[in-house]
Each structure stands twice: as C-alpha cells, then as structure tokens.
Amino acid sequence: DTEVTQTPKHLVMGMTNKKSLKCEQHMGHRAMYWYKQKAKKPPELMFVYSYEKLSINESVPSRFSPECPNSSLLNLHLHALQPEDSALYLCASSPEGQGRDEQYFGPGTRLTVT
C-alpha cells in the first residue's frame, strides 16, 4: 500500500459543530503531517507528529486539535471553527530517517465552515 487516505472527502460544518478529519497510511512511515491549503496557495504546515509524538505546532489556534492514536492514524479534531478556516486539509506522511525524505500527500478533505 503506497497511499495516504483521508476521510471524509468533503465536510460542511457550522461554527458550533464538532467534527473530526481522519488520515491513514500503511507505508510504515513514522512522521505524519497536517497541512491547510487555500485556493491558489501552497500547502501551509499546521502540525507534525514524529513517532506518535507532537513535534511541531505552527502556532495553530486551539480550535484545531491533532491526535495520533497509533503510527498509522492521524486525526484532526475541529471545534468552533470560523468561516476563514474553510480550506483543503491535507495529510501527509514521510519515512523519517533511513536516508529517505519523500513526503506523500493524501487526497485532502475539502472543509466548508458556514
């Protein structure tokens, strides 16, 4: 399996809702990432997990809460979002070490906050 998968593909939520995005990889990668991408912009790093521990939080608002239950799974819990949080949320993974740096992206979740 050489893919990163994400669910759901699309999500519409109100500002008072709580929802979660899910990401899964079975490539044995030990680093996993959450990115936010706005239209016509590059991906913007939000969080990095390395060996299931949070290694980077790029000053992301607390209404976004990441979780790494195991080495294959990554969640992003959403609560009290704002309309400006509407974007494509991408998950990625990389081998970490072993002389390999390639980072592979999932298909993303298109989030709309109403």
Partner 1 sequence: GENVEQHPSTLSVQEGDSAVIKCTYSDSASNYFPWYKQELGKRPQLIIDIRSNVGEKKDQRIAVTLNKTAKHFSLHITETQPEDSAVYFCAASRSGGYNKLIFGAGTRLAVHP
Please give the residue ranges that form the binding site for partner 1 (CB under 8 A). 31, 33, 40-43, 45, 48, 50, 55-56, 90, 94, 96-97, 101-108
Minimum Å gap between C-beta 112 and partner 1 is: 14
Beta-bridge partner residues of 64: 78
Other beta carbons within 10 angstroms of residue 50's beta carbon come to 16
Minimum gap (Å) between residue 103 Cβ and partner 1: 6
Q: How far is the CB of 19 from partner 1 (least distance, A)?
A: 21
**Closer residue to partner 1 in complex, CB, 61/97:** 97
Q: Which of 42, 83 has the CB closer to partner 1?
A: 42
Pick from 89, 2, 78, 3: which is nearest to 45 by CA?
A: 89
